[in-house]
Chain A
Amino acid sequence: MSALLFPLLFLGVFAFALFKKVKLFDAFAGGIKGALPLLVSLFPSLAAVLILSELFTESGLSAFLARLLAPALELVGIPKELAPLLLVKPFSGSGSMALLNGIITQYGADSYLARCACVLYGSSETAFYLSALYFAGRKISPRPVLIALAGNLLAAVTGCLFCRIL
């Protein structure tokens, strides 16, 4: 479905722009003009977060924290096998993707664990990583990040619950 969506979206918008007598090339290129400066301004925080996330997983700190947190997570209904995924997801999209794939292949695609992992993955976002991008070069107040993390945690808890009853 989403394969059709993109051509349709661009066709529709560009046709409308032509109808409005917009100079397509100039408008498109004008929009892109901001792309590289944007990347340049984002890059420092992007790099810092990615280096941090690499250290976090490679040092074994995430595995250690996952073991530490597992009992607390079990208490709210999140299986302990999912703790690493829950911890890595805020930092790294590719890292959590690898973990998700690992869980699916290890426990089977239709197991309760794999379904929970999918729900956990699908209903949360890379909050720390996004905060570095959204507020690059500015003082990041912890409030929105904490709020987003709280939302993700709630989604994880309810997601595991829904997996059990639905």
Chain B
Amino acid sequence: MNGVFAAMFLLSALLFLIFEPEAFLPALAAGGEKAVSLGLSLAAAYCVWLGFFGVMEQSGLTSLLARALRPAARRLFRSEDDKALSAACCSVSANLLSLPGAPTPLGIEACRRFLARGNEFGAHMLFALNAAGVQLISTTALSFRLAAGSASPADIVPPILLSTLLSAALVVLLTFLTSPKRPRSPLAPRPRPRLRTHSRR
């Protein structure tokens, strides 16, 4: 990230210096302005979805959800942390359904919980999945086509679905293949009684 930032920043600044030096500062300020307004709308989304998640947590829905999805999710994210797992599952499914605003706060929440327990793999897997853009329907693209008077706006759905599933598969595969160390707990032979697995950690 630092390398990318340095290279891109310097190159861009150089181009500004050569072609239009007076536009450099306004561009920087415009970026900052976007950060502030985007930060505000992010904060709004956090309030809604973290509040919602708080209610889910208190009512025991998150642990129910985590229990239902645990067999798949614990392998996918290599985690036994119920709260993190359910936040991760909520985030991925919200992304899948392209619910605006929900995936990012929940994803960040799950990512922090993974990292707090030193589970880098889970955080990377979740990030890669969400950043691969696993989406069943892109509402933005659909609405743009609709607005431009497309005859059949929905004919982009099958290609999007197919290619996004392919990329999700690639991302999961690559994350598994490139993970630095083999997992100890989840894939190792585990004791047969699966109850109360979270107490073992």
Contact = CB atoms under 8 A, between A and B. Distances in A.
Contact of B31 (A53, A138, A145, A154): A53
Contacts of A17: 55-56, 58-59, 61
Nearest to B45: A35
Given A28-B51, A134-B107, A134-B111, A118 B175 contact: no
Contact of B174 (A6, A53, A60, A147): A147
Contact of B47 (A2, A13, A32, A58): A32
Interface size range of chain B in the complex: 35 or more
Contacts of B76: none
A69 interface: no
Contacts of A39: 39, 42-43, 46
Contacts of A130: 104, 107, 127, 130-131
Contact of A119 (B5, B35, B130, B156): B156
Interface in A29-79: 29-32, 34-36, 38-39, 42-43, 46-48, 50-56, 58-61, 64
Which of A29, A31, A36, A38: most chain B Cβ within 10 A? A31
B32 A13 contact: no
B68 interface: no
A59 B15 contact: yes
Interface of A: 2, 5-6, 10, 13-14, 16-17, 20, 22-24, 26-32, 34-36, 38-39, 42-43, 46-48, 50-56, 58-61, 64, 94, 97, 100-101, 104-105, 108-110, 114-115, 118-119, 121-128, 130-135, 138, 140-145, 147-148, 150-152, 154-156, 158-159, 162-163, 166
Contacts of A94: 34
A152 B132 contact: yes
A52 to B, nearest CB: 6
